[in-house]
Amino acid sequence: MKSLAPHDRPREKLDRLGPAGLGDNELLAVILGHGFRAASAIDVANDVLDTVRGVQGLTRQSQADLRRLKGIGVAKASQILAAVELGRRTLVRAPERREQLRAPCDVASYLLPRYGARPVEQFGIVLLDTKHRVLKTAILSVGTLDASLVHPREVFREAAGGGAAAIVLFHNHPSGDPTPSAEDLTLTARLVEAGRVMGIDVVDHLVLADARYCSFKEMGRL
C-alpha cells in the first residue's frame, strides 16, 4: 500500500469519498486490512477477485476455499465471510407483519437474498398459512439434492408440525444456473403427490442461483 499516494489508499479514500467511491478491490482491501511481506492488501484483493471471478463469486466461497488463496489465512477468510453475510442480511428486511407470497416473483424476492448465492446446495421449504403468509422457513438438507437426502416424510413432518396449509419447495444451484435438473423434476413430482395425500398443497418449487430463479409454477410444471 506504500506505493499508493496517501490520498489514494483505500481507507483514506473511503474517508474522503465514502464507500460508494471505492472499487470492489478497494473495498475488499479495507476488509482485509493489510497484505503480507510481498504483496499489499490491494494486491491480495485483486488476486482474490480474479480467482473467484469477481465480487459475486465471494458469495459461493467457503472458508476452506478462501484459505487456499495466497495471503488469506483463517482470520482474513473469516473477515471476508463475515462481510459477505452481513451484506446479505442488509438485503433481508424484517417485515412488520408476515409476508404474503402471492406469486412466484414474491417468493423469489423473499428467498433470493437469503439463499440465492450459497457455496453448497441447500434444500428447504417455506411454510405458508391459508392466505399464503409466511409462517416459517426451514432448511432440511445440505448437499447434492437427491431423493435419498430429501424424503417426503421429513418434508411433511416439518410442514405439519409448523401448522402449514401449503408449502413452497426451494433449493439453490451453486453453479449459478437455475435450470432444473432431471433429479429436481423427479423429486418435485414425488413431493407434490405426497402433499396431495397429506392435504398440504405444494404451491411451487423455486431453483435459486445468485440473482436468478426458475419457478416450476411459471414453467407449468405445477
Query: Does residue 99 belong to any structural domain of this protein?
Result: no
> Could you tell me the residue range of the domain that residue 31 belongs to?
6-90
Terminal Cα distance for the chain, rounded: 56
Q: What is the pLDDT of residue 39?
A: 87
* Same domain? 31 vs 60: yes
Task: Answer yes or no: is 95 within a domain.
Answer: no
44 with 82, same domain: the answer is: yes
* Same domain for 140 and 181: yes
75 and 117 inside one domain:
no
> 58-105: per-residue pLDDT in tens?
988 999 999 999 889 999 999 999 999 898 888 776 656 788 999 999
Q: Is there a single domain that holds both residue 120 and residue 17?
A: no
Lowest mean pLDDT among 87-91, 124-128, 204-208: 87-91
Q: What is the CATH number of the domain that holds 120?
A: 3.40.140.10
Interatomic CA distance for residues 58 and 52, integer angstroms: 6
Residues 6+ apart with CB under 8 A from 51: 69
pTM over 0.85: no
Q: What is the pLDDT of residues 102-115, one digit of tens each?
A: 999 999 999 999 89
**Is residue 220 in some structural domain?**
no
* Phi, psi for 41 (deg, rounded to 5): -60, -35
Q: CA-to-CA distance for 162 and 50, rounded, in angstroms? A: 44
**Amino acid at the residue 5:** A
67 and 147 share a domain?
no
User: What does the pLDDT read at residue 147?
Assistant: 45
Q: Are residues 149 and 186 in the same domain?
A: yes
73 in any annotated domain: yes
Residues 157 and 73 in one domain: no
The residue that leads in pLDDT, 205 or 14, is: 205
Q: Is 81 in the same domain as 121? A: no
Q: What is the pLDDT of residue 60?
A: 87
109 shares its domain with 86: no
What count of other Cβ atoms lies within 10 Å of the Cβ of residue 113?
17
Which residue has better confidence, 25 or 9?
A: 25
CATH number assigned to the domain comprising residue 82: 1.10.150.20
Asked if the structure places residue 154 within a domain, the reply is yes
Does residue 2 register a pLDDT over 70?
no
**pLDDT at position 13, please?**
84
Domain count, the chain: 2
The 10s digit of each residue's pLDDT in 131-185 is 999 999 999 988 765 544 688 999 999 999 999 999 999 999 988 899 999 999 9
Q: Are residues 196 and 112 in the same domain?
A: yes
pLDDT at 27 over 70: yes
Q: Which pLDDT does position 7 carry in this prediction? A: 57
